[in-house]
Structure 1
Amino acid sequence: MRPAIRLLAAVSKRLEPGSPTGLAGLTTHGAPRSALIFLYTSTLRKLQQIPEHSVYRQATEALTKQRLSIIESVKPAGYDSWLEKVQWQIHNRGESYRKNFGLENEGEAVGAFAYTRFKDPENLKPTSGDHAGEIPDAMKDEVPDSIVEIEPEPQMTLEQVQEIEEKIGAGLLEEVIQVAEGEMRLVDKMIASKVWEPLEEQAPEGQWSYFERGAH
């Protein structure tokens, strides 16, 4: 069931950044579209370090690409003119910012900016928990000390937000952002652990046969 507070937002047709979502400790994100684009593109880039035969990479890549395509398909009014403006700003004054993040183009830098330096500090989250308002731990080492200030991406309408939420089918966008943050951190751990490599000690033959479908 959609939280009642979200339904009340139908009156204004837009969601107010920082307002309650109806879920405890979770407030409305100020730039969910840009944040998710950055998180998903970052995750996909990191997955390139894992061999293609890895089942984890295959599954995560497929889901991430699917959700990214959904996010990119919905654009708020005025998005194209806004993007043109901030791309110019980053291209001309944010070279060090792109290099710091290891980004390939201005579009990715725009998403990174929205995720790490959104103008309202209340929307720089993890969006819940004891550390609300802080830059997520996964990003602390990546945030440059000085970057060009740009205006936030135009807000989506409530209808656009609901369209994305229905297509993804994983709760509110703020919940989707939390999952995306967790996946991005998990990729780093999977890479560090090299989970795709063979076990040093192979499991005895038939150890897992009890759990196979149709075994009983």
Structure 2
Amino acid sequence: MAGVAAKAFTGLTGLKVAVNPTHTLGVLYSKTLRALAKMPAEYPYRKQTETLVVQRADIIKNTPTIMEAEQKIGMGQIEEVIIQAENELVLARNILEWRAWEPLAEKAPKDQWKWPL
């Protein structure tokens, strides 16, 4: 993004301006995709998250300015998108550790998934 206009502050308490958001997001997205690749291909979380990450990476890569990327992504300022990407990476790694796609070790109690009770 050659046309990056430096902003002085985000206007959000405690959230500093990202120095190089395109690089930061590129690293986070590639790490997330590597974690997702270790999950079964048919696992719904993997499918949905891969789609989202690839879409956002494409926006970041092909948009001339950060402001345009923020608008296309539609999830707040780029600094907030970075926080979301960091949280998604943590979640993907946790799901890998939990192996959440495997069947339950024990049968679920009757009516566990029934709502309202």
Considering the TM-score relative to the shorter chain, is it more than 0.5? yes
Equivalent position to 1:195, from 81, 100, 106: 100
Residue pairs, 1:44-193, within 5 angstroms: 44-75=33-64, 160-193=65-98
Shift of residue 205 of structure 1? Answer: 5.2
Superposed CA RMSD: 1.7
| Greater Rg over alpha carbons, structure | 1
**Where in structure 1 do 4 or more consecutive aligned residues deviate above 3 Å?**
204-207
Amino acid at match of 2:28: L
Residue aligning to 1:37 = 26
| Distance (Å, rounded) in 1 between the aligned partners of 2:63 and 2:27 | 15
Residue aligning to 1:118 = none
How high is the TM-score relative to the length of structure 2? Answer: 0.87
Q: Show structure 2 runs of 5+ residues with no match.
A: none
Q: Show structure 1 runs of 5+ residues with no match.
A: 1-12, 76-159, 212-216
Shift of residue 210 of structure 1? Answer: 2.9
3-state DSSP of counterpart to 1:210: coil
Shift of residue 204 of structure 1? Answer: 3.9
Shift of residue 198 of structure 1? Answer: 0.5
| Distance (Å, rounded) in 2 between the aligned partners of 1:184 and 1:170 | 17
How high is the TM-score relative to the length of structure 1? Answer: 0.49
| Distance (Å, rounded) in 1 between the aligned partners of 2:107 and 2:44 | 18
| Distance (Å, rounded) in 1 between the aligned partners of 2:115 and 2:107 | 17
Structure of greater relative contact order (alpha carbons < 8 Å, 6+ residues apart)? 2
